[in-house]
Structure 1
Amino acid sequence: MATLEDPIEIGGVTVPNRLYRAPLLECAGNGPDAVDALIDDLEPAAESGVGLLCQGATIVRGEGGCAAPGMTRIHDPDFVERLSRLTDRIHDHGSRIFIQLEHGGLRSMETWHAEYREAHPDLEQLAVSRPPWQLRLLDRLGFLAYDPHVLSTDEVYDLAADFGRAAANAVAAGYDGIHLAGANMGIVQQFLSPFYNRRDDEFGGSPEARLKFLAVVHDEIRERAGDVPIMTKVPAETPAPPSPIVRRKLSLEDGIEIACRLEKIGYDAVVPVQTSVAWDMSIVRGEYPARAWENDALREGYDAAFGGAARRQVVALANRLQSFQYDFEPAWNEDVCRRVRERVSIPVLAEGGIRERAQMDRLLGSSEKGTNGVGERKPACDMVGMARPFYAEPRLGARLLERNSQTANPRVVCESCNNCTVPQVTGAPGICRTPAVLRKRGELEREGAYERLKP
């Protein structure tokens, strides 16, 4: 069975090992310092030996679609040309880099960010269908603001073409592969999900029709960017609020079936995840980020985002309640990954709550703890990834990869406290903000734990 140190091939690209940095919000934007910010954020993981880096959600159009402040756009060839400096730096360390392409649709800032809405009053959200009644209710109550533009059939094809053009730009800049943001309430999930997709044309109705957008995006990427590896997140909306609040959603079986169909379409890898129909703590399970909410320096930014102190407090309360609903669970996507891997032959990537080397070995099937009861190892995935732990330890790979590890079962110092995530609604960079975690990282730095041994 595979170990973390073994290479793997994704769509013809060889990745030197099976550890990857999952997509995160870099908040680098497109300004004159954007490429330097991306290098500062991503290169340390490559220096530490991580085999694959996935640059976080990058918007395929020049206007609208950003789910958070400071997201990078990849529509402009002049800007994209500068990104070759980033990909060259990653390749210098022997790592590979994929870029995650995204459009927020109904999740975009023009829905929820009060100051942004005020500054851009003419922006509409791109919508797969008319928003579900639950979202329209939040609109009437004043928590969200919807002015949706439901995509026509021709406009769906145009949007898919934008994904293809963005992929071609990325390949020209040296990216090794394309990672589609298929979950976290982005436009792709909105096409896949019966909660959002009530269309009556060729892109809606049956499960096969709801999958057609991803099929057209695949074909556009192939036509414009060639045989670049393509992978996507695959959602199962199993933690969604229960009926009667949410009756239509993607079941676990639906998510597994989508992954199987994507292999037939020609996708080169899948990342199965259990997520909600909404953008909530189902994707960042863990503690209520009290320290982040109580930070006086960030409070003005929160008020600008949510529309004042009262609404900030309501959002913080909702955040606290969700921390109980989505309590941290180690490797919470293991079951869906294992079931997908039993039915596909393309690589399956696992992320979500993976925090120590022993978990990685078990998921990859290189540990006896992963046996199926008759002595045969049964892997749940082919690669293992983490996101938030790289905020806490940018050079984390040096501690996890076997030849560098100083302990039998190295564990990340990240406490899944989520103090790193809430400030991003203000456009703050993704960094660890928890003193106890930073002290532990400092101790490890002084011990030389992040010094990568040369082959």
Structure 2
Amino acid sequence: MTRTTLFDPLQLGTTALRNRVVMAPMTRARTTQPGDIPNDLMAEYYAQRASAGLIVTEATQISPQGKGYSFTPGIFSADQVAGWRAVTDRIHAVGGKVFLQLWHVGRVSHSVFHHGQPPVAPSAIQPKETQVWIVGEDGVGRMVDCPTPRALTAAEITAIIADFRKGAANAIAAGFDGVEVHGGNGYLVDQFLRGVSNQRTDQYGGSRDNRTRFLVELMTALAEEVGADKVGVRLAPYITFKDMADPDIVPTILHAAEKLDPLGLAYIHLSEADWDDAPSIPDDFRHELRRVFHGKIIVAGGYDKARAEAILASGLADLVAFGRPFVANPDLPQRLARDLPLAQPDGASLFGGNHEGYTDYPAHA
């Protein structure tokens, strides 16, 4: 058998990818204000990195209610859709493919974004040791603690699903090849999945069936709206920051994956912990995910070329996403293919600012 490599093409639903290197979603907070509008600087940034087989954009709020950080983009206004259209045009002009990541942050937010009202969540439980980045009137960004949210009503949950549906339709209108729902890392979908953040007593809380209901209803709506083969979801079974440690989350994620499988989604994107001494995803989980879900699997989290090619060869993943290496290496696929050295990003310029630390990293000579 031929060994699968990072540089083999892949058919992802209706999207043909030239390699299996994915640019992972990374918040960079460079939108035009007011209005959280994607701009020409962002178009340049993504176009520089379009040699990836697939780009998944930074997380993008589906409504004003879904916002939790300053300067993150939206996909609900006409100006935002037009701004994203300029981005996708630049990516497609150089042969790239791109999915928009849709999110609602839930309780990981602050009242400053909601006219003084608290953020919303499955339950009114404040996340401990959880902060969001807010730019003040002085133009300086600061990390601020999240307040206690208020619990969503069932009618509001239905409305949020409708907002996701509209966001997906807007994304396709803006020229995206597909959409990915951010279902991990402590944000709204993840909050519904975990008992530590979801203590509802209605049809959206309690049992695994109920805690996965929001995700399944949401993904069903998006599949109906834009086609299942243009829809993926990011999940984070082993990530516990933002006060999300839950002993039942791993079997809950597998339960959700089995319920999602009949929809025919394009992929599940596993967000893996990438810090020192972080828990690794055991192979038995990966095998079980393969058993219950038959779409493609993307993995992301501290992968280098050797680890990436090893997991592709094992058959436990189909694509590998790289985050921080793409910040300072716009030509990352070429560098990986040729074993060229990787530049290191400037941490001080990750969030907010201008072209410095954003579009001024050169390709390898």
Corresponding residue for 1:130?
124
> Which structure 1 residue ranges, 4+ long, deviate > 6 Å from structure 2?
none
Q: CA deviation at 1:249?
A: 4.0
Distance in 1, matches of 2:348 and 2:277, equals 16
Contact residue 229 and residue 265 of structure 2 kept, 8 A: no
Q: Percent identity?
A: 25
Three-state SS of the structure 2 residue aligned to 1:106 is: coil
CA deviations over 1:232-282 (Å, ceiling 9, x no partner): 1122146569xxx977444434333332332234422101234xxxxxxx5
Distance in 2, matches of 1:71 and 1:175, equals 18
Distance in 2, matches of 1:212 and 1:30, equals 36
* Aligned AA (2:107): L
**1:53-92 equivalence runs, <5 A:** 53-61=55-63, 63-92=64-93
**1:24-423 equivalence runs, <5 A:** 24-31=26-33, 34-46=38-50, 49-61=51-63, 63-110=64-111, 117=112, 122-131=116-125, 144-227=145-228, 229-237=230-238, 239=240, 248-274=246-272, 282=273, 285=275, 326-327=276-277, 332-333=280-281, 335=283, 336-337=285-286, 339-355=288-304, 357-365=305-313, 378-401=314-337, 405=338, 407=339, 410=340, 412-414=342-344, 420=347
Three-state SS of the structure 2 residue aligned to 1:99 is: strand
Distance in 2, matches of 1:379 and 1:342, equals 12
Q: CA deviation at 1:328?
A: 6.5
Distance in 1, matches of 2:277 and 2:306, equals 21
Structure 1 pair 254–247 and aligned structure 2 pair: CA distance change class (3 A): same
Structure 1 pair 269–148 and aligned structure 2 pair: CA distance change class (3 A): same
Distance in 1, matches of 2:289 and 2:263, equals 16
Contact residue 100 and residue 179 of structure 2 kept, 8 A: yes
Q: CA deviation at 1:353?
A: 0.4
Distance in 1, matches of 2:303 and 2:212, equals 29
Distance in 2, matches of 1:247 and 1:384, equals 25
Three-state SS of the structure 2 residue aligned to 1:14 is: strand
Distance in 1, matches of 2:166 and 2:244, equals 35
* Aligned AA (2:335): R
Contact residue 30 and residue 73 of structure 1 kept, 8 A: no
Specify which structure has the higher proportion of helix: 1
Q: CA deviation at 1:149?
A: 2.6
* Aligned AA (1:360): A
Distance in 2, matches of 1:81 and 1:363, equals 38
Q: CA deviation at 1:27?
A: 1.1
What is the number of equivalent residue pairs in this alignment?
346
Query: What is the CA RMSD across the aligned residues, in angstroms?
Result: 3.1
Three-state SS of the structure 2 residue aligned to 1:349 is: strand
Contact residue 28 and residue 71 of structure 1 kept, 8 A: yes
Structure 1 pair 36–246 and aligned structure 2 pair: CA distance change class (3 A): closer
**Unaligned segments of structure 1, at least 5 residues:** 111-116, 137-142, 275-281, 286-325, 366-377, 449-455
Specify which structure has the higher proportion of strand: 2
Three-state SS of the structure 1 residue aligned to 2:39 is: helix
Three-state SS of the structure 1 residue aligned to 2:27 is: coil
Structure 1 pair 120–130 and aligned structure 2 pair: CA distance change class (3 A): closer
Distance in 2, matches of 1:52 and 1:413, equals 21
Contact residue 340 and residue 348 of structure 1 kept, 8 A: no
Give the structure-2-normalised TM-score. 0.83
Corresponding residue for 1:9?
11
Contact residue 178 and residue 228 of structure 1 kept, 8 A: no
Distance in 1, matches of 2:237 and 2:355, equals 26
Q: CA deviation at 1:92?
A: 1.9
Distance in 1, matches of 2:311 and 2:277, equals 21
Contact residue 31 and residue 42 of structure 2 kept, 8 A: no
Contact residue 129 and residue 150 of structure 1 kept, 8 A: yes
Pair member with larger Rg: 1
Distance in 1, matches of 2:331 and 2:86, equals 20
Give the structure-1-normalised TM-score. 0.68
Contact residue 268 and residue 346 of structure 1 kept, 8 A: yes
Contact residue 212 and residue 252 of structure 2 kept, 8 A: no
Distance in 2, matches of 1:98 and 1:394, equals 18
- The structure 2 residue matched to 1:21, chosen from 23, 28, 38, is 23
Structure 1 pair 428–109 and aligned structure 2 pair: CA distance change class (3 A): farther
Contact residue 391 and residue 430 of structure 1 kept, 8 A: no
Contact residue 334 and residue 350 of structure 1 kept, 8 A: no
Structure 1 pair 333–93 and aligned structure 2 pair: CA distance change class (3 A): farther
